[in-house]
Amino acid sequence: MKRLVMLVALVGCKNAEEAAPAPAPAPAPAPTPVEKAPPAKACLIKVSIDHDKVAFDNGSGVKGTTTTDAMDFSGLTAGLVCPATVVASDDTSYQVVIRAMDRLGTVGIVDVGLGDGKPHKSMAPPIGPATDGGLRQVPVIALAKDTVFLSGKEIAKTTDSGLAVAITKALPAHPTDPTVILQADQSLPYSIIRDAIAGATTAGYDNVLFAVKNK
């Protein structure tokens, strides 16, 4: 009789275990939020010419100084190769500005803007005999010491206060090819070069190629 009671008790425990509800599933872990990378800063090298001193800064910690005689931009090769913009004091000669653009090209910086602290859509380094063969039909703005010519026709004086406006009016409007060649006497000051570029870009010519008129 005693054994029968024990057997019934064991069977009752087993039935109770089978009837017990299953434990609730553990909650799924919350997804780890993905941090978005900050937007990359625009890469731009700034070159400032002030009389015989030249400063450069790529905006990412690579900066330095050189002279107008040395024009040593080798330090910029330690950073990203970015577009560059060159600004200068008003009395800086065109020859010095062109030399800066040339030297930037030797360290691989060939997209160079000039004049307003911002890179233009496309502003190439100075052209030479090997690169000007396909530019015969491009308008040429020639700045002599006293006179400004457009494709051989006099349009203004370099001392005119409205030089930029005169160039804008003289250039054909709405060009299909926004390329123009700017040829200037190497002794002309940067202020005149800047006005000529402003006139060309206002007329829609934002691809400016540079040349130097030695005489």
- Residues 170-196: tens digit of each pLDDT: 999 999 999 999 999 999 999 999 999
pLDDT of residue 211: 85
Q: Which CATH superfamily is domain 42-121 in?
A: ATPase, nucleotide binding domain (3.30.420.40)
Structure token digits, residue 88: 């200068």
Kindly report, as residue ranges, where domains of CATH 3.30.420.40 are found in the chain. 42-121
Phi–psi pair at 190, nearest 5 degrees: -60, -35
Residue with tokens 């997804």: 31
Q: How far is CA 190 from CA 11, 27, 173, in A?
A: 104, 71, 25
Which residues, given as ranges, of the chain have pLDDT below 50? 1-2, 4-11, 117-125, 128-132
Strand boundaries in the chain, DSSP class E: 45-50, 53-57, 63-67, 84-88, 112-114, 122-123, 140-143, 147-150, 153-157, 179-185, 207-213
Report pLDDT for 6.
Answer: 45
Q: What angle do CA 14, 19, 22 make, to 5 degrees?
A: 115
Q: How far is CA 145 from CA 12, 37, 178, 181, 197, in A?
A: 115, 52, 26, 17, 16
What pLDDT does 188 receive?
96
- Per-residue pLDDT, 8: 43
CATH classification for the domain delimited by 127-215, as one of 1.20.120, 3.40.1130, 3.30.420, 1.20.1070 = 3.30.420
Predicted local distance difference test score (pLDDT) of residue 96: 95
Q: What is the pLDDT of residue 137?
A: 82
Q: CA 154, 129, 66, 82 torsion: positive or negative?
A: positive
